[in-house]
Amino acid sequence: MERSQSRRQFIQTASVGAAALAMPASSYARVVGANDRIHIGVIGCGGRGRRAHMPGVHAHSESQNCEIVAVSDPWKSRREEAAAAAKEWYGGSPQALVSYRDLLAVKDLDAVMIASCDHQHTTHLEAAAKAGKDVYCEKPLGMDFEKVKRAVDAVKAAKAVCQIGTQVRSLPTSTGCRELFQSGVFGKLSRIEQSRNSTRPYWYSRVKDVKKEDVDWKEFLMDAPDQPFRADKFSGWYGYRDFSDGPVPGLASHFVDLLHYITGAKFPESATGQHGTFTWIDEHKFTCPDQVQATWIYPEGFMVSYTTNFGNSNGNHISFMGDQGTLSLTPWTKPSYSRAGAGKPSELPAEETLVEPIETPDHFLDWLQCIRNRGTCRAPAQAGLQHAAAVIMAVKAADTGRRQIYDPEKREIKDG
């Protein structure tokens, strides 16, 4: 879909120089001129939108010449707070809107950041792409794989710059891990695993006292089942299966995306899973599980395991295990490696050694730079499709008790 003639066509030929000469004509026509301000809208003004996306972009507003001009959220206090922050940073009168539809209709809007609820991501992403906007979209990409495919296809058809919010890819240490792993020093990879535990589920900290009159409940529900308003369901939506599928998509999407980035793997060939609620049973009647276990087998010849225990915080770790040593991302901000567990002769050090970081732009800067040069973001829409396939397979396996198989040619998940 073509962007509006007034802002999204190439404005200043001289500003892109030689870099533009290498671009296909379709991308060349969409470059934002060096002196053209990027106007951004924010869909979803909760913790991620207001506390991560907005300050993440604002940190680069001078160097990248961008501005947040509109925000939308069905909760009055959240959108007003976000609009006030944008006004403080940029001046003017940023629009505070209830619906994403009204935000996408804002004149001269170039790009949007989607930090809405899990069940809303694909609808917002597809609509933004069809409206001709570049997009930053939070993870997990979606809960329904057919909707995920439609959204990704819309991004591709629109030739939109898209960054999926798996920001761990953009840590310098993650790039260092990728380079080290792909050098082959760990030998034959057999297993990758993460345990991510806590004493209680993360959705409890989100529960707030919300007044019904301050919320557009229908806008929040979108295509979720119709139901009466409840303050805990609205504010603590992470804990309810109508709006989220729990720790595997909520937390393991980062892990799965990171292993895809480091190893170069794309899709698992199969998945199994189990989940349930065993500890946190109370008046909220949360339906997302507090215990999960998921496994995937990849066609490259290794197994992946993810577990969450929301009853005990012990045992957190991430390990990539090969027959010549182990890469440990515990924590992933300070990864290390050694010959620990090696079954074959290894040149790796016996002691734990920190991975050398490789400097890279942060996730928000990468997105803004790609908007200007029409490059491919570090976590493009296709990466979102890949992590979505994996986590949706695991959730479906746990729900049905049947192993799930992925067909990459047909882009189909089916019982196996």
What are the pLDDT tens digits along the chain (416 aa)?
333 333 444 323 323 333 443 444 444 445 565 569 999 999 999 999 999 999 999 999 999 999 999 999 999 999 999 999 999 999 999 999 999 999 999 999 999 999 999 999 999 999 999 999 999 999 999 999 999 999 999 999 999 999 999 999 999 999 999 999 999 999 999 999 999 999 999 999 999 999 999 999 999 999 999 999 999 999 999 999 999 999 999 999 999 999 999 999 999 999 999 999 999 999 999 999 999 999 999 999 999 999 999 999 999 999 999 999 999 999 999 999 999 999 999 999 999 999 999 999 999 999 999 999 999 999 999 999 999 999 999 999 999 999 999 999 999 999 99
82 lies in the same domain as 64 = yes
pLDDT of amino acid 15: 33
Contact at 8 Å (CB) between 280 and 308?
no
User: Using CA atoms, how far apart are residues 211 and 290, in angstroms rounded to an integer?
Assistant: 28
Q: Looking at the structure, tell me whether residues 86 and 218 fall in a common domain.
A: no
- 4 within some domain: no
Q: Which helix (H) or strand (E) holds 67?
A: strand 66-72
What is the DSSP-derived secondary structure letter of residue 85? H
Dihedral sign for Cα 302, 308, 309, 314, please: positive
Give a three-class secondary structure readout of 133-200: CEEEECCCCCCCHHHHHHHHHHHHHHCCCEEECCHHHHCHHHHHHHHHHHCCCCCCEEEEEEECCCCC
159 and 178 inside one domain:
no
303 in any annotated domain: yes
Residue 189: CATH number of its domain: 3.30.360.10
Query: Is 273 among the domain residues?
Result: yes
For residue 30, the domain's CATH number is: 3.40.50.720
Q: Are residues 32 and 49 in the same domain?
A: yes
Give the integer Cα–Cα distance in Å for 405 and 416: 5
CB count within 10 Å of CB 399 equals 14
Is residue 58 in a domain?
A: yes
**pLDDT at res. 221:** 98
Judge if 137 and 216 occupy the same domain. no
Report pLDDT for 4.
39
- Is residue 104 within 8 Å of 2, Cβ to Cβ? no
Residue 147: inside a domain? yes
- One domain, residues 162 and 223: no
Q: Domain for residue 7, yes or no?
A: no
- Shared domain for 340 and 370, answered yes or no, is no
**Domain interval for residue 294:** 170-360+389-415
Tell me whether strands 270-276 and 404-407 are parallel, antiparallel or unpaired: antiparallel
Does residue 175 share a domain with residue 160? no
- pLDDT for 16 equals 39
Look at residue 3 and tell me if it is in a domain: no
Are 103 and 251 in a shared domain? no
> What pLDDT does 14 receive?
26
Please tell me whether residues 369 and 343 are part of one structural domain: no
* Cα 280 from Cα 183, distance rounded (Å): 44
- pLDDT score, position 18: 36
Euclidean distance between CA atoms 368 and 66, whole angstroms:
8
Query: What residue type is 154 in one-letter code?
Result: A
Could you tell me the pTM of the whole model? 0.93
Number of folded domains that form the chain: 2
Distances (CA, A) of 334 to 146, 168, 176: 37, 12, 11
Place of tokens 């189990």: 274
Same domain, 331 and 304: yes
Please check whether residues 144 and 194 belong to one and the same domain: no
Asked, for residue 1, whether it belongs to a domain, the answer is no
